[in-house]
């Protein structure tokens, strides 16, 4: 799983720094043997995106809640949740000193804030993908997202 999520996150390494990227990949000062936060955070982001897309297309499937701005509201909620997860999990390591000594001095809260922003941006991509999948699923089972089938992508 590390090799699935890490390359995606590391496309944005210039925004949050190489040292934080090493820590998130699992650098423990000797080798990459520590638990990778990329995997934990990536799984949380995918799960929250699936749950919120399902919430919009299946549970909130009402005619009065099928506008593009309602979809945008759920997308924004997904962004906030993902930003918080992307900030909080690395910040816990930063605050408790669980970062390898050779890279700890190069990591600051601004790096962690930027990683949270990257995480939020990636969650937007996941949410759009799962919204598209919900639309495809609606073609197979039309009753699932009947009222929201054209939100936000009109035919």
pLDDT in tens, 28-62: 777 787 788 999 999 999 999 999 998 988 888 88
Q: Determine the Cα–Cα distance for residues 21 and 99; give it in Å rounded to an integer.
A: 11
Does residue 131 carry a pLDDT above 80?
A: yes
Instruction: Region of 26 please: left (phi>0), alpha (psi -120 to 50) or beta.
Output: left
Lowest mean pLDDT among 64-78, 112-126, 138-152: 138-152
Residue 125 contacts by C-beta under 8 Å, 6 or more apart in sequence?
Answer: none
Q: Determine the Cα–Cα distance for residues 110 and 119; give it in Å rounded to an integer.
A: 14
Interaxial angle between packed helices 68-96 and 37-54, expressed in degrees from 0 to 180 and rounded to the nearest 10: 160
Q: List the structure tokens of 58.
A: 């299946």
Considering only CA atoms, which of 17, 41, 18 is closest in space to residue 126?
Answer: 41
Find where tokens 């699935």 sit.
4
What is the structure's pLDDT at 132? 87
Confidence of residue 155 (pLDDT cuts 50, 70, 90): low
Lowest mean pLDDT among 17-21, 72-76, 148-152: 148-152
What is the structure's pLDDT at 152? 79
Could you report the per-residue pLDDT of 62-71, keeping only the tens digit for each?
Answer: 888 888 899 9
Residues in the chain: 155
Instruction: Concatenate the DSSP letters of all residues of 10-26 into one string.
Output: GGGHHHH-HHHHHHHHT
Q: List the structure tokens of 123.
A: 């969650």
Does residue 143 carry a pLDDT above 90?
A: no
Cα dist from 75 to 28, 80, 105, 126, whole Å: 35, 9, 35, 10
Instruction: Indicate whether this model's pTM tops 0.75.
Output: yes
Question: Mean pLDDT across the stretch 22-33?
Answer: 84
């Amino acid at each position: 799983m590390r090799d699935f999520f890490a390359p995606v996150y590391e496309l944005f390494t210039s925004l949050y720094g190489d040292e934080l990227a090493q820590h998130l990949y699992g650098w423990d000062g000797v080798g990459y043997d520590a638990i990778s936060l990329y995997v934990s955070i990536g799984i949380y982001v995918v799960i929250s995106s699936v749950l919120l897309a399902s919430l919009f297309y299946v549970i909130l499937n009402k005619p009065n809640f099928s506008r593009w701005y309602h979809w945008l509201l759920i997308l924004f909620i997904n962004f906030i949740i993902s930003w918080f997860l992307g900030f909080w999990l690395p910040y816990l390591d930063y605050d408790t000193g669980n970062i390898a000594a050779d890279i700890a001095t190069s990591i600051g809260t601004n790096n962690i804030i930027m990683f949270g922003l990257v995480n939020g941006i990636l969650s937007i991509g996941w949410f759009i993908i799962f919204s598209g999948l919900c639309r495809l699923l609606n073609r197979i089972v039309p009753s699932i997202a009947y009222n929201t089938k054209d939100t936000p992508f009109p035919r």
